[in-house]
């Protein structure tokens, strides 16, 4: 038996864990008491969510589609077929006919190779990943205002230093349990907790002050807080003068947002809004935590910019415990962004439109690079339907379930000439692919992850990948070689990392594998080998914006539409509204999110029997008042219907949601809320869809209807194709043995 | 005095890690694989509920076959002796006995593969009482917290809870905590805080 130290594959907290391994099998997982974030603890996903590694459904050979099913083939056959077809499409339609979906759960090294493959081998900047669907507004909004699109502080500072924690749009207890623990630690020290959330999450329940704003009303709330702060002279005048631009415009913009007016708009008492503003401004160190409840709106970037405005005006930034903390959802989503798996930036966050940067990458990679910004994931379905994108490589994502408006997405996939999926399992997306490649997964791979506080940590292999499964970087390298590109002569992840350190030196030059080996990771940026890493960004009020100062921006909001005169009063304000509002036909608002016991589309956690037992099925939260009106009792079936699709699942009658709102998740193909979400109302600045609000109908349903609905979804998501593929792979393994 | 495990709702974040830990260790020793504590969300707060190991236990008194007994400063339920009559579940004032259709020893009670499968349709859609709804073909037994008596290191839920919200209360805890409270009360009165007593908790 051996113990292997690695990092949890699930949320962005980045807890450290030790895997006990016997006979090439992970048998037990324990926390790491020396780790500064997790301090020996793990949540249930970290501790019990590892059974997928040895699951009999793991992909063990490449598979090629034949008719409605798949045949197992060897690597040469699969790779040759892909390379040939990519070559033909490139000749016919040019490099922008390709798109690559990279993965927030692949390592930094693999993300680097994936984006390099897209840019240097395929010749397109159309490489993106699921951050588009979660924290794209963070990247855009914080870069615009503060110069860096990342969490400004380290997690332990929350527990040790912050004396006010403002959580807005983050269900921290369920989505980042070990960060919630640091919030509790702060509370035990006497720190105050203010939570703004339409749902009564467990954080809201623990708050000293809970502001139950309606869905999507973050901008008016923060504007009203700023209104009070400025009116009462609580702003940090020195900080504003020395370290920011644009204060006068912002002050003028928030003048209209008196707590009284916003109270009318939101139903939150004006005194509570004022109290929140005062407490935030007068705290010694205030940190704002936020997540999808801020970003997944058609004004997601506006919401993020508001949060940055609040931090800068009060000077609550650039010090330990004071800052802006976007909580990132996936184990390596920060890394995937930093390593350039985005259509507009190179590794290290340099824009592809910057000539000197492009030249530097052209020289290093030995090819000419496209200066054209690529297509975002959320624009892909339209690009396919318009005939612009013809081939997609999906590396470790399951967009059939994670992307909005499933039907529309599935319809687009049908039009592709080539869909290649690299994954651990025959996912809902893989079942629609032409070629499926088996990947090595967490527990089998070597490399690094970057957690939400920018801590780059080593992930280590504990067991061998099953069958012929290969690491993602190996797959991209093999494809690149077949397509005639020689610039990927890597033997192991360390070779890739050393190239990353050369190509993005300000962020990573100081992070050698040797250093990462002997520390609990280092927070980027870490530009030199004697540099300790950077737990606190913007120390001393230094911002990486062109002016070196934070850029304050007016953000205006009206639930329906901001009046023309209000817009015209400012130079380029950010505007927010709710795109799809309830009406007579669709009187409810559906909002979406996650539950603690499952992870995203469930490809991993639903293969952990212990987790599946605790969360075996979708539960739709509905307020008791609404349930009574519909004659629905707790755990009876209800049907949610939007303009795009419908699901049937059991009701959880609970005060967690306010009247008029229902909440559901995308963990279960049997009832995936993404069949109902909206792919059309994108945030114009970041391209994120408005997952958090869809107008919906809610009706009472029955067990019989639920059963019929599951049967239909089984067909729709091609559950049987997975079974057939597993049989095929077993036969292949037996034949070659 | 019997011992029992209890959560502090101020620390519990409703993460269900305790429930999973509970299932895992019981399955390993061949007991029914369902959680013996249930995370319960209310407007006032969230915490798991489990057996209080009452010293004059109503469940023990009503059990017709003596499946529930007083042992080692706790109330233990023998799943093999239990006839599934559900009397104890009705008698328990905390609602922490779960009648459950048991599967063969050592198997987890549910497997993945889609909902509606793991929880088969109940006999009737609207039973007279929720406790009386069960599935044909499986023997139902009563399941409750047994303080993980088979684990030398004590209850697994306490070990795995990431926020240390759970603890074991025994005679010693009560003695210490009472002493602390008495001292705090004296201090409060002596320093002129009057009757503003502190409650450092158990
Ligand atoms: S908090 Fe996140 S990183 Fe930590 S164990 Fe849970 S899922 Fe894993
Ligand atoms: S493990 Fe702890 S925090 Fe989580 S639900 Fe159980 S008692 Fe609450
Ligand atoms: S099961 Fe209920 S009645 Fe029996 S000892 Fe426990 S708390 Fe008391």
Q: What's the rounded Cα separation, in Å, for the pair A77 and A91?
A: 21
How confident is the model over A529-554, as pLDDT tens digits? 999 999 999 999 999 999 999 999 99
Nearest CA in chain B to A182: B163
Q: Which of the four pLDDT bands, split at 50, 70 and 90, describes residue B31?
A: confident
Q: What are phi and psi of A704, to 5 degrees?
A: -65, -45
How confident is the model over A308-344, as pLDDT tens digits? 999 999 999 999 999 999 999 999 999 999 999 999 9
Q: Which two tokens stand for residue A393?
A: 């490589």
- Ligand nearest the Cα of residue B6 is 2
Of A677, A264, A598, A354, the C-alpha closest to A273 is A264
Identify all chain A residues contacting B10, using CB atoms and an 8 Å cutoff: 184, 206
Of A602, A553, A613, the C-alpha closest to A299 is A553
Q: For A22-48, what is the mean pLDDT?
A: 96
Q: Which of A20, A43, A212 is the mutation pick for testing B, counting most B CBs within 10 A?
A: A43
How confident is the model over A271-301, as pLDDT tens digits? 999 999 999 999 999 999 999 999 999 999 9
Residues lining ligand 1, Cβ inside 6 A: A 8, 10-11, 13-15, 38, 42-43, 45-46, 176-178
How far apart are the CA of B60 and the nearest CA of chain A, in angstroms? Answer: 28
- Judged by CB atoms closer than 8 Å, whether chains meet at A710 and B11 is answered as no
| Ligand 3 contact, B26 CB (< 6 A) | no
- Judged by CB atoms closer than 8 Å, whether chains meet at A654 and B14 is answered as no
Contact B149, B93 (CB under 8 A): no
How confident is the model over B50-67, as pLDDT tens digits? 999 999 999 999 999 999
Instruction: Measure Cα distances from A299 to A199, A262, A312 in Å.
Output: 19, 18, 20
Mutation probe of ligand 2 site: the residue of B17, B46, B158, B159 with most atoms within 8 A of C-beta: B17
3-state secondary structure of A110: helix
- Which residue has the least CA distance to atom 6 on ligand 2? B18
Q: What's the rounded Cα separation, in Å, for the pair B51 and A459?
A: 40
Other CB atoms within 10 Å distance of the CB of residue B153 = 8
Is pLDDT at A447 greater than 60 in this prediction?
yes
Among B15, B19, B112, beta carbon nearest to A606 = B112
Q: What is the DSSP letter of A533?
A: -
Q: CA torsion B82→B83→B86→B91, rounded to 10°? A: -50
Q: For B174-194, what is the mean pLDDT?
A: 84
DSSP E strands, B15-147: 38-41, 46-49, 68-71, 74-77, 98-101, 140-143
Nearest CA in chain B to A45: B17
| Ligand 3 contact, B142 CB (< 6 A) | no
Contact A638, A701 (CB under 8 A): yes
Contact B141, B154 (CB under 8 A): no
Q: Which of the four pLDDT bands, split at 50, 70 and 90, describes residue A374?
A: very high
How far apart are the CA of A24 and the nearest CA of chain B, in angstroms? Answer: 21
Q: What's the rounded Cα separation, in Å, for the pair A506 and A527?
A: 5
Q: Which of the four pLDDT bands, split at 50, 70 and 90, describes residue B69?
A: very high
How confident is the model over A645-689, as pLDDT tens digits? 999 999 999 999 999 999 999 999 999 999 999 888 899 999 999
Nearest CA in chain A to B111: A609
How confident is the model over A548-592, as pLDDT tens digits? 999 999 999 999 999 999 999 998 899 999 999 999 999 999 999
Q: What's the rounded Cα separation, in Å, for the pair A478 and A74?
A: 13
Contact A32, A46 (CB under 8 A): no
How far apart are the CA of B142 and the nearest CA of chain A, in angstroms? Answer: 18
Mutation probe of ligand 1 site: the residue of A13, A17, A459 with most atoms within 8 A of C-beta: A13
Instruction: Measure Cα distances from A689 to A133, A379, A396, A452, A674 in Å.
Output: 7, 10, 21, 22, 11
- Judged by CB atoms closer than 8 Å, whether chains meet at B115 and A44 is answered as no
How far apart are the CA of B55 and the nearest CA of chain A, in angstroms? Answer: 31
Q: What's the rounded Cα separation, in Å, for the pair A40 and A30?
A: 8
How confident is the model over A128-167, as pLDDT tens digits? 999 999 899 999 999 999 999 999 999 999 999 999 999 9
Contact A292, A172 (CB under 8 A): no
Q: For A27-44, what is the mean pLDDT?
A: 96
Predicted TM-score (pTM) of this structure? 0.93
- Judged by CB atoms closer than 8 Å, whether chains meet at B15 and A668 is answered as no
Q: Which of the four pLDDT bands, split at 50, 70 and 90, describes residue B87?
A: very high
Helices assigned H by DSSP within A56-190: 75-93, 108-116, 136-145, 155-160, 172-175, 177-188
- Ligand nearest the Cα of residue B37 is 2
Distance B90 CA to ligand 3 centre (A): 10
Nearest CA in chain A to B11: A184
Q: What's the rounded Cα separation, in Å, for the pair A543 and A525?
A: 13
Q: Tell me whether 0.90 is exceeded by the ipTM.
A: yes
- Ligand nearest the Cα of residue A452 is 1
| Ligand 3 contact, B75 CB (< 6 A) | yes
How far apart are the CA of A142 and the nearest CA of chain B, in angstroms? Answer: 29
Query: A236-245, A483-492, A610-619 — which is least confidently predicted?
Result: A610-619
Instruction: Measure Cα distances from A301 to A270, A580, B118 in Å.
Output: 25, 17, 42
pLDDT at B106: 37
Run of H or E including A22: strand A16-22
pLDDT at B195: 52
- Judged by CB atoms closer than 8 Å, whether chains meet at B118 and A205 is answered as no
3-state secondary structure of A92: helix
Identify all chain B residues contacting A710, using CB atoms and an 8 Å cutoff: 114-116
pLDDT at B113: 31
Q: For A209-216, what is the mean pLDDT?
A: 97
3-state secondary structure of A316: coil
pLDDT at B110: 37
Nearest CA in chain B to A28: B24
Q: For A179-186, what is the mean pLDDT?
A: 98
Q: What's the rounded Cα separation, in Å, for the pair B7 and A441?
A: 36
- Judged by CB atoms closer than 8 Å, whether chains meet at A47 and B108 is answered as no
Task: Please state, rounded to an integer, the average pLDDT across all residues of chain A.
Answer: 95
Identify all chain A residues contacting B119, using CB atoms and an 8 Å cutoff: 616-617
Is pLDDT at B167 greater than 70 in this prediction?
yes
pLDDT at A397: 92
Contact A63, A431 (CB under 8 A): no
């Amino acid at each position: 038996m051996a113990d292997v130290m690695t990092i949890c594959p699930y949320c962005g907290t980045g807890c450290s864990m030790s895997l006990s391994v016997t006979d090439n099998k992970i048998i037990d997982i324990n926390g790491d008491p020396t780790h500064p974030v997790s301090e020996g603890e793990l949540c249930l996903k970290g501790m019990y969510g590892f059974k997928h590694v040895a699951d009999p459904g793991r992909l063990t050979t490449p598979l090629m589609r034949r008719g409605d099913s798949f045949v197992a083939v060897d690597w040469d056959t699969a790779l040759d077929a892909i390379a040939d077809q990519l070559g033909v499409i490139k000749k016919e339609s040019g490099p922008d006919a390709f798109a690559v979906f990279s993965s927030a759960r692949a390592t930094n090294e693999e993300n680097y190779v994936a984006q390099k493959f897209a840019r240097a081998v395929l010749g397109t900047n159309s490489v993106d990943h699921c951050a588009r669907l979660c924290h794209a507004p963070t990247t855009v909004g914080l870069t615009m205002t503060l110069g860096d699109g990342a969490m400004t502080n380290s997690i332990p500072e929350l527990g040790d230093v912050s004396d006010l924690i403002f959580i807005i749009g983050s269900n921290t207890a369920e989505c980042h349990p070990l960060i919630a623990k640091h919030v509790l630690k702060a509370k035990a020290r006497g720190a105050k907790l203010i939570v703004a959330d339409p749902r009564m999450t467990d954080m809201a329940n623990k708050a000293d002050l809970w502001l139950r704003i309606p869905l999507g009303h973050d901008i008016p709330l923060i504007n009203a807080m700023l209104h009070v702060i400025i009116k009462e002279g609580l702003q940090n005048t020195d900080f504003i003068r020395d370290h920011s631009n644009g204060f006068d415009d912002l002050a003028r913009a928030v003048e209209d947002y008196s707590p009284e007016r916003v109270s009318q708009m939101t139903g939150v008492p004006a005194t509570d809004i004022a109290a929140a503003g005062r407490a935030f401004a007068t705290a010694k160190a205030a940190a704002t935590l936020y997540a999808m409840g801020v970003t997944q709106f058609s004004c997601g970037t506006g919401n993020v910019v508001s949060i940055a405005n609040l931090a800068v005006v009060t000077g609550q930034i650039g010090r330990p415990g004071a800052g802006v903390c976007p909580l990132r959802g996936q184990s390596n989503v920060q890394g995937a962004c930093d390593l350039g798996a985005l259509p507009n930036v190179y590794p290290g966050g340099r824009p592809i439109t910057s000539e000197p940067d492009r030249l530097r990458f052209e020289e290093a990679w030995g090819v000419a690079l496209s200066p054209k910004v690529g297509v975002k994931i959320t624009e892909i379905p339209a690009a396919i339907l318009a005939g612009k994108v013809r081939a997609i490589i999906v590396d470790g994502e399951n967009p059939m379930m994670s992307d909005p408006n499933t039907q529309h997405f599935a319809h687009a996939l049908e039009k592709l000439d080539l869909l290649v999926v690299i994954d651990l399992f025959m996912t809902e997306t893989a079942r629609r692919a032409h070629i499926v490649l088996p990947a090595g997964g967490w527990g089998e791979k070597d490399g690094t992850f970057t957690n939400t506080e920018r801590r780059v940590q080593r992930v280590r292999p504990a067991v061998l990948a099953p069958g012929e499964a290969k690491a993602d970087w190996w797959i991209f390298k093999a494809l690149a070689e077949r397509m005639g590109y020689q610039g990927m002569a890597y033997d192991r992840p360390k070779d890739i990392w050393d190239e990353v350190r050369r190509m993005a030196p300000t962020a990573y030059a100081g992070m050698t594998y040797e250093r990462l080996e002997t520390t609990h990771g280092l927070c980027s940026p870490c530009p030199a080998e004697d540099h300790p890493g950077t737990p606190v960004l913007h120390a001393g009020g230094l911002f990486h914006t062109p002016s070196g100062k934070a850029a304050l921006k007016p953000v205006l909001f009206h639930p329906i539409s901001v009046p023309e005169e209000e817009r015209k009063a400012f130079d380029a304000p950010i505007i927010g509204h709710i795109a799809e509002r309830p009406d007579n036909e669709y009187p409810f608002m559906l909002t979406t999110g996650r539950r603690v016991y499952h992870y995203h589309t469930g490809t991993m956690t639903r293969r952990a029997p212990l987790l599946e037992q605790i969360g075996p099925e979708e539960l739709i939260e509905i307020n008791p008042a609404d349930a009574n009106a519909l004659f629905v009792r707790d755990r009876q079936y209800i049907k949610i219907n939007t303009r795009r699709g419908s699901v049937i699942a059991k009701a959880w009658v609970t005060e967690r949601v306010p009247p008029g709102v229902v909440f559901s998740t995308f963990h279960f193909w049997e009832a995936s809320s993404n069949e109902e979400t909206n792919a059309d109302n994108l945030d114009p600045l970041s391209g994120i869809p408005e997952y958090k609000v869809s107008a919906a109908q809610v009706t009472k349903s029955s067990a019989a209807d639920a059963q019929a609905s599951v049967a239909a979804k089984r067909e729709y998501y091609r559950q049987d194709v997975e079974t057939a593929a597993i049989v095929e792979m077993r036969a292949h393994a037996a034949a070659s043995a | 005095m019997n011992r029992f495990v209890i959560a502090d709702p101020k620390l519990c974040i409703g993460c269900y890690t305790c429930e999973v830990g509970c299932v895992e260790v019981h399955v390993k020793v061949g007991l029914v694989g369902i959680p013996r504590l249930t995370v319960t969300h209310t407007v006032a707060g969230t915490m798991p509920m489990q057996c209080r190991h009452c010293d004059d236990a109503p469940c023990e008194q009503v059990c017709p076959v003596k499946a529930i007994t007083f042992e080692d400063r706790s109330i233990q339920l023998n799943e093999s002796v239990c006839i599934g009559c559900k009397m104890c579940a009705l008698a328990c004032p905390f609602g922490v006995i779960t009648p459950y259709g048991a599967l063969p020893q050592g198997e987890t009670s549910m497997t993945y593969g889609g909902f509606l499968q793991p929880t088969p349709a109940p006999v009737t859609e609207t039973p007279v009482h929720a406790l009386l709804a069960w599935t044909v073909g499986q023997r139902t037994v009563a399941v409750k917290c047994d303080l993980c008596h088979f684990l030398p290191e004590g209850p697994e839920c306490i070990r795995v809870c990431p926020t240390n919200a759970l603890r074991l209360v025994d005679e010693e805890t009560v003695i210490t905590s009472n002493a602390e409270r008495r001292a705090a009360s004296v201090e409060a009165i002596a320093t002129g805080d009057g009757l503003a007593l502190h409650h450092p908790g158990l």
